[in-house]
Amino acid sequence: MHAYANPARFLKIARPLTPICLVVGILLILIGSYAGLALTPPDYLQGDSVRILYIHVPAAWLGMGGWTGIAIASIVQLVWRHPLAGVAARAIAVPGALFTAICLVTGSIWGRPTWGTWWEWDGRMTSMLVLLFLYFGYIGLANASDDRTSVSRATAIFGIVGAVNIPIINRSVVWWNSLHQGPSITLRGSTISSEILWPLAPTVIGFSLFFGGIVLMRMRANLAQAKVEARMRRLAAA
């Protein structure tokens, strides 16, 4: 892990990896979305509204996965003092918040024709909304510090403590009565017909690669800005 602690070594890998993640990611999103909108049949119960699945599920996965990434990076920063952990955690926060918001909005749009309501204060939706507020809090805390190459100890602890919400979101449809359907994709398989399910694979992989590309761009921006600021400070001190 510390082999990539050197920002110069990290940038050598990140520079060619960024366009690969973005181009392959966008292509897979387009392929999966086209298949989901044009090639799959409507669901026997939900009708055409099931097509929102292909963007809603990747958004939910990335909202939760993003916070898991922040929590892991925070542990790595606090325990091993890895110099890139804070940069990574900072870079994940904004796209993580965006995909959490997309998950909430697309879920709400899906809910209106399917359940007859835009919103319900049940376990799944409320815990996802809490995740969005956690992201806002994290972004605010991280931006309170001028140092772009790390986050404060309090911000890192907030990132770790906030991860308590991730298993709550995951299990919410099991623990509480909910309008939201139960877990339909588990390690044991899927209850969704393969005819409807298959475009989800390209959109989940595509959005994940796209998310990775955005995180790499934001990490590169933070590292470059930190370099310029350090140089300015040296010049001012000289």
Partner 1 sequence: MNHWPFIIAAYALTGLGTLGVFVWSYLEMRRAEQAVSKLERSR
Q: Output the smallest distance, CB 175 to partner 1, in A.
A: 27
The residues near 17 (Cβ < 8 Å, ≥ 6 apart) are 216
Could you identify the residue written with the tokens 């990539």?
Answer: 4
Q: Output the smallest distance, CB 82 to partner 1, in A.
A: 21
* CB-CB neighbours of 235 under 10 Å: 8
Q: Which residues contact partner 1 (rule: CB under 8 A)?
A: 22, 33, 37, 47-49, 51-52, 55-56, 59, 94-95, 98, 101-102, 105-106, 109-110, 112-113, 210, 214, 217-218, 220-222, 224-225, 227-228, 231
DSSP category for residue 238: -
Nearer to partner 1, 14 or 151 (CB): 14
Dist. CA 42–CA 194, nearest whole Å: 13
Nearer to partner 1, 17 or 161 (CB): 17
* Six token digits for residue 58: 């990747």
Q: Output the smallest distance, CB 213 to partner 1, in A.
A: 8
Nearer to partner 1, 8 or 187 (CB): 8
Nearer to partner 1, 59 or 71 (CB): 59
CA atoms within 13 A on the CB side of 233: 8
